[in-house]
């Protein structure tokens, strides 16, 4: 059953801690994306990767880091430099189809205590 998994679903972080959000896909997609969602602000792009071992900053990359060592995996680390990390984080992927349709995971809700 192909799809995108994100873990954990809920994550709590103390101020000053780094945390890593997991995103795995078994769709054989080349590209993967991380978005942040806040109420009333839609989806804002954090990072994206079009190929293994390469990634680009999105609109709000400050305070975040990523890696893409495997095609299936695109973890996101929220560092202590991110001043307001409480949000809903969505991972997505897209394949070689020309329509650029993105498939989304179920999301991780991060709360800073």
> Footprint of another protein on this chain (CB under 8 A)?
4, 6, 29-31, 33, 40-43, 45, 48, 50, 58, 88, 90, 92, 94-96, 98-107, 109
Shortest CB 69 distance to another protein, Å:
18
* CA–CA gap between residue 66 and residue 89 (Å, rounded): 13
Q: Phi and psi for 104 in degrees, rounded to 5?
A: -110, 150
Shortest CB 68 distance to another protein, Å:
13
Shortest CB 42 distance to another protein, Å:
4
Give how far the C-alpha of residue 15 lies from the chain's centroid of Cα atoms, to the nearest Å. 20
Contacts of 111 (CB under 8 A, 6+ apart): 10, 11, 12, 13, 86
Q: Which is nearer to another protein, 50 or 53 (CB)?
A: 50
């Amino acid at each position: 059953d192909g799809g995108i998994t994100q873990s954990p679903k809920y994550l709590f972080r103390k101020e000053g801690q780094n945390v890593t959000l997991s995103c795995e896909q078994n769709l054989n997609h080349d590209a993967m994306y991380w978005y942040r969602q806040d109420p009333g602000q839609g989806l804002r792009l954090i990072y994206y990767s079009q190929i293994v071992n390469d990634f680009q900053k999105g609109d709000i990359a400050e305070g975040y880091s990523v890696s893409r060592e495997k095609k299936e995996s695109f973890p996101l680390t929220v560092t202590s430099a991110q001043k307001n990390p409480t949000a809903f984080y969505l991972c997505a992927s897209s394949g070689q189809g020309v329509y650029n349709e993105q498939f989304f995971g179920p999301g991780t809700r991060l709360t800073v205590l």
